[in-house]
Structure 1
Amino acid sequence: MNDTAVLQAELGGIAGVAALTTLRHGAGVSQAPFDDFNLGTRCGDAPDAVARNRDELAARFALPGVPRWLRQVHGNRVAVEPAGDEPEADAAISRTRGLVLAILTADCLPVVLAARDGGEVALAHAGWRGLAGGVLEATIAAMWSSPRDIVAWMGPAAGPRAYEVGEDVYDAFAAGEPRAASAFVATRPGHWLVDLPALARRRLLAAGLQHVHGGDLCTISDPARFFSHRRDRVTGRMATLAWLK
């Protein structure tokens, strides 16, 4: 698929798995500051615009089903084969062909996890709270596949040259794992630039994964392509979708 409205996940050519992250332009009808392709219903955009954007998402990319959206709370709960009206969770797993998983982000890290045999796929919403709370480990543990048979892709998120955090974030990672301090660069007293994808990569590898891709796209520093809550405060949301063909 070659489309200006999405990024394709890099999963090493796994057959039978589709995964993508939408961009802010190239599709959609939302008006500023949610322009154009906002897919989030809780960020202040007009409900009818979001509904039209979600309809365009389904039609434009020939989705095999209605995306299973989650009520994300920056936790580590994993929904397996999510159903119903937005279950509260920050990760989801599917082993059913045509069931479309979906998460929303605008600086948090979207992570796609796919079994090399194409038998299952998962998504995780890994902001710093969820990452520190073990959302990636919980998702991997809930998958049937061995970690060595899982491939990960990290989508666009707040990047290491633009994402400044305070002591709460530093302590959440470095206090329990001193080597995690290498992902932080001090900027001023009590503040650091943090490499969120590096922290996620460390945790994925520690969990047993051997193939981790992506993590090099910064939402904050690229307003032409990405929504960023840290940069703009009031803004839209991008969607990361994954399904088994």
Structure 2
Amino acid sequence: MNSDWITPDWPAPAQVRACVTTRDGGVSTLPYASLNLGNHVGDVPAHVVQNRARVRAVLPAEPVWLKQAHGLLVADAALAQSETEADASVARQPERVCVVMTADCLPVLFCDHAGTVVGAAHAGWRGLADGILEHTVAAMQVPAGQIMAWLGPAIGPAQFEVGDEVRAIFVSNLPAATAAFQPGKPGKWLADIYQLARLRLARLGVHQVYGGGLCTYTDAARFYSYRRDGITGRMASLIWLASA
């Protein structure tokens, strides 16, 4: 893998491969410099094609690039086509690469203990509140206690300001979510998206949860951040099963 990329720190089976790109190593120019992988953010299309080709060069197959919509659809990576509308994908066959793109939203990677299925989910606050993690776990079709998850780079709890209505949505669904919100300015709260994800996964029975703590907003050298910059690129979180 590219030395600038991030390798998840979790005890996944040997056949599970995963990585997260950073903003380094591509051809895009400001404000997308340099490894922007999003083809929907205003970057020069030819630059995105070149950037995706650089990522593809170190993967076993072309990733299943999704058209993310902050929804609840989970694609089967063996069947999905490029730009399939979904916010997560799962794969059981080797060399089917699941991928989600983010720039503050939370990417969550999944695998089971036996290394028979993997998944990737794009969890912005809306998708997280509506149940994208629950839908992804269900699509993996293995007991929740056999699943582990890794939380990738996202906007950190000191930067993720939300309104009363967002807090109310989470707390009404899961009262324990109260602990994930700290008071901010009047009518505003600082939300810990990592804690919110852990709480929802724990409710499912997924207790092996790793990662968290990489803030896209504060680490401008490595990560894109929509909240920080407005016009910006996208990183990719990828996971697949290696061939035997």
* Shorter-chain TM-score tier: over 0.9
1:67 aligns with one of 51, 63, 69: 63
2:76 alignment partner AA: V
The CA RMSD measured in Å over matched residues stands at: 1.1
Cα distance in 1 between the residues matched to 2:64 and 2:8: 18
Alignment map for 1:14-163 (pairs within 5 Å): 14-25=13-24, 27-59=25-57, 61=58, 63-81=59-77, 82-163=79-160
Task: Report the Cα distance in structure 1 between the residues aligned to 2:123 and 2:156, rounded to whole angstroms.
Answer: 13
Check whether the contact 1:11–1:114 (CA below 8 A) recurs between aligned residues: no
Q: Distance in 2 between matches of 1:131 and 1:141?
A: 15
Match of 1:169 in 2: 166
Aligned length: 241
| Contact preservation (8 Å) 1:76, 1:133 | yes
> Once the two structures are superposed, what CA deviation does each residue of 1:106-144 show, in whole Å capped at 9, x if it has no partner?
000000010111101000000100000000011111112
User: What secondary structure is seen at the aligned counterpart in 1 of 2:145?
Assistant: helix
Q: Equivalent residue of 2:20, what SS?
A: strand
Give the Å deviation of 1:188: 1.5
2:12–2:111 Cα contact (<8 Å) kept: no
The one-letter amino acid paired with 1:17 is V
Query: What's the secondary structure of 1:157's corresponding residue?
Result: coil
Structure 2: which 5+ runs fail to align? none
Alignment correspondent of 2:6: 7
In the alignment, the residues of structure 1 paired with residue 122 and residue 12 of structure 2 have an alpha-carbon distance, to the nearest angstrom, of 23
Distance 1:52 1:121 in 2: 27
Counterpart of 1:197 (choices 189, 194, 205) is 194
Aligned structure 1 segments of 4 or more residues deviating by more than 2 angstroms: 175-178
In the TM superposition, residue 226 of structure 1 has moved relative to its aligned partner by 0.4
> d(CA) in 2 for partners of 1:66 and 1:10?
24
Determine the C-alpha separation between the residues in 2 that align with 1:144 and 1:38.
33
* Alpha-carbon distance in 2 for matches of 1:174, 1:186: 14
Match of 1:6, SS?
A: coil
Unaligned runs of 5+ in 1: none
Provide the TM-score with structure 1 as the length reference. 0.96
Query: Does the CA contact (< 8 Å) of 2:38 and 2:234 recur in 1?
Result: yes
